[in-house]
Amino acid sequence: MVSAELAPLAKTGGLADAVAGLSAALAAKDHDVRVLIPDYTAPPSGRPGAAAIEGGASVSPAESTPVPVYLIASPAIGSGGAIYLGDERDAARFWAFSRAAVAAAAALGLTPDIVHCHDWHAALVPALAASRPPLASAGTVLTLHNIGFQGAFPRSVLPDDAAAFLASLDDEATGSRDWVNFLETGIRRASAVTTVSPTYAREIATPELGMGLDAVLRARGDDFVGILNGVDYRLWSPESDPFITPRFRRGDADGKRRVKRAVMTELGLADDAPLIGAVSRLFEQKGLDLLVDALPTLLERTRARFAVLGSGNPDLEAALSRAAKTWPERIAFRRGYDEGLAHRIIAGSDFLVVPSRYEPCGLTQLYALRYGTVPIVRKTGGLADTVTHYDPASGRGTGCVFEHADVTGLIWGVTTALEWYESPADWERLCRNAEGLDFSWQRQCEPYEALYRRVIERRRHRSPSA
Ligand code: ADP
């Protein structure tokens, strides 16, 4: 696995959880999995005991991780802890990481059957590996966790060696004359390409949601597939969650109520009303601006309280802070990144709202389900694949699914869900349905195993002498 993020060592979002969960599940099935990630905190002189690789880079094993992890340090990646700088400097940083990761794999004597690369940060690895024995004989898989992040840069910002390498690839694969696109290069070069839900796979193969890469994806035909992310239930279930007190058994409404009370006290809210949580990066994609705009109506029409944790867009952060100041008894907003509070909000809330404009898979709704926290989600991508709209007549369904990414759609979703809350029989049924689902990585890693096998078989077929 080659990734910019890996929970818990380096995490900003779902990528970190997905790579960690998939790796651990594969390892538990006796696959020999190694994960290579950048060393964002290495001192400029390198870590003591690190093995030098070319270009001033070095590699050192991380300590006490469930799956072996190699930290790739390089002066070009920089240190200080930032995972992304969010500007053109990231081109040189992740180029350096990808190059060093390939060199490190060779130096470590790794001879994988499959090199599985994640997102644009590692998307040049298939091309780099192709010219680098012993990696050259490995199949490559590229997983797109979010096609909104492509690593598209003007050629002029690339270091010379990166510019030369990309120019040496066939011209189609290297973007336009003036621009390069790391993700596009990977999509063209990997043996197979995946994304993190079947619906998102269909969506990004269209011009509406493909963000310019739909044609390249369609050209991959059957070699582009959607495989749903899984959940590591050791971290995300009421029985074993390391961040909640008390832990409780699935279906134990009293236990859940105690966690709800605790988190509401922590946030300064009274616990005599339904609680709607949101844990999210605060960017346009996630649609939390819709929640801000819907709040006046929702506060007037319902008795719900809101607990929001997130950071991102400063305007959105400010709007949420203002809302919390205006209605302190109804809304709590915590700005920042807080793993523990994320668990407590997801575990303790009655609902979790995920109003995304697009959503490759979405993990928080999967986590919520396990705690009997009913997801209110927009019908898009992985949200549409993992939550089914509750139907009081049949008693089937696991959450509330609204169609339109606008304020009206969200208000409809929240008020509909709250009606179920007020009907004890429906509520009981809905919570049990939600808790009963199984999105464990043990299951969700099987389609990856099948894909790996297909890629390996095909390569054997093509080069019978290898
Ligand atoms: P994305 O990867 O697009 O951010 P996902 O739903 O796939 O969205 O994954 C989000 C992950 O990041 C979840 O594990 C969620 O709990 C976590 N997360 C998001 N925002 C925060 C935050 N402010 N504090 C702690 N965890 C957060």
Classify residue 55 by burial, with Cβ atoms within 10 Å: 0-12, 13-18, 19+: middle
Tens digit of pLDDT for each residue in 112-137? 999 999 999 999 999 999 988 889 99
CA distances to 202, 263, 397, 433, 438 from 388, rounded to whole Å, are: 18, 27, 5, 10, 14
Tens digit of pLDDT for each residue in 363-415? 999 999 999 999 999 999 999 999 999 999 999 999 999 999 999 999 999 99
- pLDDT at res. 55: 84
Residue 12 Cβ inside 6 Å of ligand 1? The answer reads no
Q: How many CB atoms lie within 10 A of CB 284?
A: 14
Give the atom of ligand 1 at the shortest distance from the alpha carbon of 363.
6
Residue 230 Cβ inside 6 Å of ligand 1? The answer reads no
What is d(CA 62, CA 71) in angstroms, rounded to the nearest whole number? 6
- pLDDT at res. 174: 54
- Residue 233, classed as helix, strand or coil, is coil
Is a pLDDT exceeding 70 seen at residue 103? yes
What is d(CA 238, CA 301) in angstroms, rounded to the nearest whole number? 31
What is d(CA 425, CA 420) in angstroms, rounded to the nearest whole number? 8
Residue 284 Cβ inside 6 Å of ligand 1? The answer reads no
Mean pLDDT of 150-175: 86
Give the atom of ligand 1 at the shortest distance from the alpha carbon of 359.
3
CA distances to 127, 230, 295, 355, 435 from 236, rounded to whole Å, are: 36, 11, 29, 21, 12
Give the atom of ligand 1 at the shortest distance from the alpha carbon of 15.
2
Is a pLDDT exceeding 70 seen at residue 13? yes
- pLDDT at res. 397: 98
Indicate the pLDDT class of residue 280, thresholds 50, 70 and 90.
very high
CA distances to 94, 376, 391 from 416, rounded to whole Å, are: 45, 10, 11
Angle at Cα 341 formed by Cα 267 and Cα 10, nearest 5°?
Answer: 150
Secondary structure E strands in 145-288? 152-154, 179-181, 192-195, 224-226, 275-282
Secondary structure E strands in 336-452? 351-354, 374-378, 400-402
Residue 356 Cβ inside 6 Å of ligand 1? The answer reads no
- pLDDT at res. 48: 84
Q: What is the CA radius of gyration of the chain?
A: 23
Pairing relationship of beta strands 51-52 and 58-61 according to DSSP bridges: antiparallel
Task: Please tell me the least confidently modeled range out of 171-180, 192-201, 301-310, 326-335.
Answer: 171-180
Which residues, 6+ apart, have CB-to-CB distance to 315 below 8 Å? none
Is a pLDDT exceeding 90 seen at residue 173? no
Secondary structure E strands in 409-466? none
Ligand 1, atom 17: closest residue by C-alpha: 13
Residue 159 Cβ inside 6 Å of ligand 1? The answer reads no
For residue 51, which of 76, 75, 73, 80 has the smallest C-alpha distance? 73
Is a pLDDT exceeding 90 seen at residue 464? no
Identify whether the C-beta of residue 347 lies closer than 8 Å to the C-beta of residue 410.
no
Ligand 1 mutation target, pool 364, 365, 373, most atoms within 8 A of CB: 364
- The structure tokens 């709040």 sit at 295
Is a pLDDT exceeding 70 seen at residue 34? yes
**Edge-to-edge strand list for the sheet holding 331-335:** 331-335, 305-312, 275-282, 351-354, 374-378, 400-402
More confident residue, 170 or 126: 126
Percentage of the residues of the chain whose pLDDT score is greater than 90: 91
Give the atom of ligand 1 at the shortest distance from the alpha carbon of 12.
12
Mean pLDDT of 170-174: 58
- Measure the CA dihedral 318/319/320/321, to 10°: 50
- Residue 282, classed as helix, strand or coil, is strand
What is the distance of C-alpha 265 from the center of its chain? 29
Is a pLDDT exceeding 90 seen at residue 176? no
Identify whether the C-beta of residue 19 lies closer than 8 Å to the C-beta of residue 6.
yes
For residue 184, which of 142, 140, 155, 226 has the smallest C-alpha distance? 142
Q: How far is the CA of 337 from the centre of ligand 1 (A)?
A: 9
Tell me whether the omega of the peptide bond preceding residue 238 falls within 30 degrees of 0, making it cis: no
- pLDDT at res. 466: 44
Tens digit of pLDDT for each residue in 86-102? 999 999 999 999 999 99
Tell me whether the omega of the peptide bond preceding residue 8 falls within 30 degrees of 0, making it cis: yes
Task: Please tell me the least confidently modeled range out of 96-105, 167-176, 276-285, 329-338.
Answer: 167-176
Angle at Cα 45 formed by Cα 6 and Cα 81, nearest 5°?
Answer: 35
Helices 407-421 & 288-301 angle (0-180, nearest 10): 50
Indicate the pLDDT class of residue 43, thresholds 50, 70 and 90.
confident
Identify whether the C-beta of residue 160 lies closer than 8 Å to the C-beta of residue 168.
no
Mean pLDDT of 240-254: 96
Residue 337 Cβ inside 6 Å of ligand 1? The answer reads yes
Residue 381 Cβ inside 6 Å of ligand 1? The answer reads no
- pLDDT at res. 210: 97
Indicate the pLDDT class of residue 49, thresholds 50, 70 and 90.
confident
For residue 399, which of 381, 413, 382, 380 has the smallest C-alpha distance? 413
Written as six digits, the tokens of 148 are 């909104």
Indicate the pLDDT class of residue 82, thresholds 50, 70 and 90.
very high
More confident residue, 79 or 457: 457
**Mean pLDDT, the chain, whole residue set:** 95
**135-150: burial string, b at 16+ Cβ within 10 Å, e else:** beebbbbbbbbbbebb
Q: How far is the CA of 265 from the centre of ligand 1 (A)?
A: 23
